[in-house]
């Protein structure tokens, strides 16, 4: 049996697994340690930026391959907001050390946002962080070049995530297409096997039904009236198996044989066009149909009875018509298996 392939980025990377949560915990712990070991003048702003970054990291672990749009927008806005908060507390120096922990942390967030099939929003988030950082470095007199040096590495990290996502998306589409082809082949093979099994069952049934009679007819002893009657019943049964496949079941078969033995003319027809009616209407409804036909066969004392399964697109499932010397009576079997 073919299983569903892992075609989503988060599925393959197992972003919702225990290992992924462990990595997330280590990331959060690292950012907390860096923020504590490198305290900045405005602890409230530093703590607020840390809290926003941690919240965004947790939100990235939401199950699924593509993040919801609202969640995506909020996460993409975090780098800009955090960079703005930190710009009020960072010292006017080009050597910020681990005090500028938020650049790497928010670059990490955008990397995984791209892996969650949101690369465009990830670049938008990084662009916002760039804009705030370059503006800050220019306003405090460090120049735009210093600002670029602080955030340029995050662009490289995000580029890797974006290229990985694009490449994996294409590979995923190919895997899905191959999986659909494999499922189609397996379906055809199953249909072929079912068809072979059906033919084998019908061949076995034909063998059981006719072998004894053929041996009796090939014997040198005269053919009796009872043999002729048995041949007629066998011929009718074989005819039912060909033109009334969905009715060629118990208890209809036994009741049809008994009715014909009483001299009733029985005609069974199947115009549904289904190889297996149970798969289309359900086994329960099919059982109700067989029971209804068998009951009318059992109740008919003389005349003729015709049971016909209608084309599957009709509103009525089947009709049962009885004629016993007077006006004919036609009953309808509904799509739910009820006789009316």
Question: What letter does residue 268 receive in the DSSP assignment?
Answer: E
Question: What letter does residue 143 receive in the DSSP assignment?
Answer: -
Which of 337, 290, 334, 330 shows the shortest CA–CA distance to 315?
334
Q: Helix, strand or coil for residue 310?
A: coil
Positions in the chain whose pLDDT score sits under 70: 1-21, 24, 35, 37-42, 65, 92-99, 191-192, 194-195, 198-199, 201-221, 223-225, 227, 230
Question: What letter does residue 336 receive in the DSSP assignment?
Answer: T
pLDDT of residue 212: 64
pLDDT of residue 76: 93
DSSP assignments along 1-70, one per residue: -PPPP--SHHHHHTTTSHHHHHHHHHHHHHHHHHHHHS--S-HHHHHHHHHHHHHHHHHTT-SSSS--HH
Omega before 251 within 30 of 0, i.e. cis? yes
User: Tens digits of per-residue pLDDT, 43-79?
Assistant: 788 788 888 888 888 888 777 767 889 999 999 999 9
pLDDT of residue 1: 44
pLDDT of residue 116: 84
User: Tens digits of per-residue pLDDT, 81-128?
Assistant: 998 888 877 776 656 666 677 888 888 889 888 888 888 999 999 999
């Amino acid at each position: 049996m073919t299983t569903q392939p892992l075609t989503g980025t988060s599925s393959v990377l197992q972003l919702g697994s225990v290992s992924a949560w462990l990595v997330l915990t280590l990331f959060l712990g690292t950012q907390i340690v860096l923020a504590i070991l490198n305290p900045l003048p405005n602890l409230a702003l530093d703590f607020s930026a840390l809290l926003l970054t941690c919240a965004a990291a947790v939100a990235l672990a939401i199950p699924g391959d593509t993040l919801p749009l609202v969640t995506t927008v909020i996460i993409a806005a975090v780098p800009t907001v955090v960079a703005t908060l930190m710009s009020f507390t960072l010292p006017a120096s080009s050597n910020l050390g681990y005090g500028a922990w938020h650049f790497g942390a928010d670059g990490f967030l955008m990397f995984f946002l791209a892996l969650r099939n949101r690369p465009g929003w990830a670049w938008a988030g990084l662009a916002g962080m760039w804009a705030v950082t370059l503006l800050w470095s220019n306003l405090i007199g460090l120049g735009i070049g210093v600002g670029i040096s602080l955030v340029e590495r995050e662009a490289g990290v995000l580029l890797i995530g974006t290229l990985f996502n694009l490449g994996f998306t294409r590979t995923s589409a190919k895997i899905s297409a191959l999986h659909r082809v494999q499922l189609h082949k397996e379906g055809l093979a199953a249909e072929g096997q079912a068809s072979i099994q059906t033919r084998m069952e019908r061949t076995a049934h034909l063998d059981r039904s006719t072998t004894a009679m053929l041996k009796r007819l090939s014997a040198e002893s005269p053919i009796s009236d009872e043999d002729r009657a048995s041949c007629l019943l066998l011929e009718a049964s074989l005819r039912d198996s060909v033109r009334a496949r969905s009715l060629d079941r118990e208890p209809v078969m036994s009741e049809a044989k008994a009715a014909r033995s009483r001299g009733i003319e029985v005609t069974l027809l199947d115009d549904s066009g289904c190889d297996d009616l149970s798969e289309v209407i359900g086994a329960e409804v099919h059982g109700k149909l067989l029971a209804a036909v068998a009951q009318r066969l059992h109740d008919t004392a003389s005349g003729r009875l015709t049971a016909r399964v209608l084309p599957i697109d009709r509103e009525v499932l089947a009709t049962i018509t009885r004629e016993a010397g007077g006006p004919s009576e036609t009953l309808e079997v509904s799509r739910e298996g009820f006789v009316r």
